[in-house]
Structure 1
Amino acid sequence: MGKLPLLLLSMLSASGIAPGADYAELPGGAFRSAIRYEENAGNLTVAPFLMMKAPVSNRQFLSFVERNPQWRRDQAPALLAGGGYLSHWHAGDDPGAAADEAVVQVSWYAAAAYCKEQGARLPTWTEWEYAAAADGSRLDARHDAAWRARWLHDGTANAMDAGAQPGANAHGVSGLHGRNWEWTDDYASLLGAPDRRSGDDGDRLKFCGATALSFNDRENYAVLKRIALLSALQPANTLGNLGFRCARSSQ
């Protein structure tokens, strides 16, 4: 996460609270990422891990804020949470009628703090991509062009409505392809972009256009849009369609 001042590190410290959310166990295994890594051309081995079956809700995040008032929208430092942080809530301690919907307008710092308090962490991009590759019956449905096209939200007759979301996928995880996108732990390192959390100066991205050479499947436009968005964000940024869920390494 980089070298933050001691005050900021204390805000991200774990409290030892055991995860209370419902987690799915994902087996891991051989996986071909959409990103072409220099060492392995995207061919990876994903270790077994656990992921929340649903994204963190406004109600769950409110409980976190009540235990950690430094993360109220009227108290969180601007360095850790931009002006849009929890701006959709009625008040600093009231998410309103959408309490059971997925929380959005949360910065990376706040999301990381929430997961750490729960004895968990944000998933890596590869873990998220691995989980999101599954449909209701297949662990990897990415070869199915019709299935992929459902997530483009381009307004065509074949596109899924932005608010629609089917049931849990083959891993038992849901909400990965709904209206909201989600933070990952290593979002700023995608495509060799500068890691603004650690001070990475972006030397891996040597020239403009290098990102175009970094995808194994350049026709998977939904993935390309997601990576482009995440790579462009600062960790204090918030968006009205960006939430998160937590993960844990298998013991």
Structure 2
Amino acid sequence: MANRSLVLPSHLRILHVEQEIEGSDTLALQSVLECDERRAALLIEEKELNRRLHSISDTSNQDSFISKRLTAIYGELEAIEADKAESRAAVILNGLGFTSEMQAMATKQFSGGWRMRLALARALFSKPDLLLLDEPTNMLDLKAIIWLENYLQTWKSTILVVSHDRTFLNTVATDILHLYAQKVESYRGNYDTFVSARTERLKNQQREYEAQKDYRDHIQVFIDRFRYNANRAAQVQSKLKLLEK
């Protein structure tokens, strides 16, 4: 899905959390900020346009064009709250266990486990339309897990998560998709609700199976009893057709 091998609307921003980002000289906080490609592109364009604007020697149509484009860029930056980006990134990192000192460290200085946390922070910061999380609590301590649970409960977009953490699923999930026998069954509610609903569904299926079996056994008894009775031949044929269904 993240690689778009499935046909999905092109306007959807889908992000699958990396298992671990590659370490580099980029600071942890900057690494998170850079994952917002739209913000980064706007800031680069804004910087370049300001440079060109200051290099123009006289008033011209180009000056007017640059000014209009800058106004549009500032409007977009305001709409995405670019001025709050650094503080928002810091809050996410802090929630996942990164102290202020750690946020100023190069990503190559972190262990694999911490780089996995950094990958999760980048995903949360970028706010895609569909966020794919694969066992997100595996490398988190209890404090970070609780923070993540609370954070995801305020998430406004869609999250698809695979997890064996029952407590996490009970806190975060609003729907459960159960893949069984190459089919997907949908259940409304958290994990405990899913278990209860599935147990009840299986009981109902078992009752239906037993009722159907009793009915077929009853028909078979009738057939065996009157198979060679000429007066009952039509009834026997009718019962045989029922068994064939």
Give the greater-gyration-radius structure (CA): 2
TM over 0.5: no
TM range (shorter): under 0.3
TM-score by length of 2: 0.21
TM-score by length of 1: 0.21
Indicate the structure with greater helix content.
2
Using CA pairs below 8 Å that are at least 6 residues apart, which structure has the higher relative contact order? Answer: 1
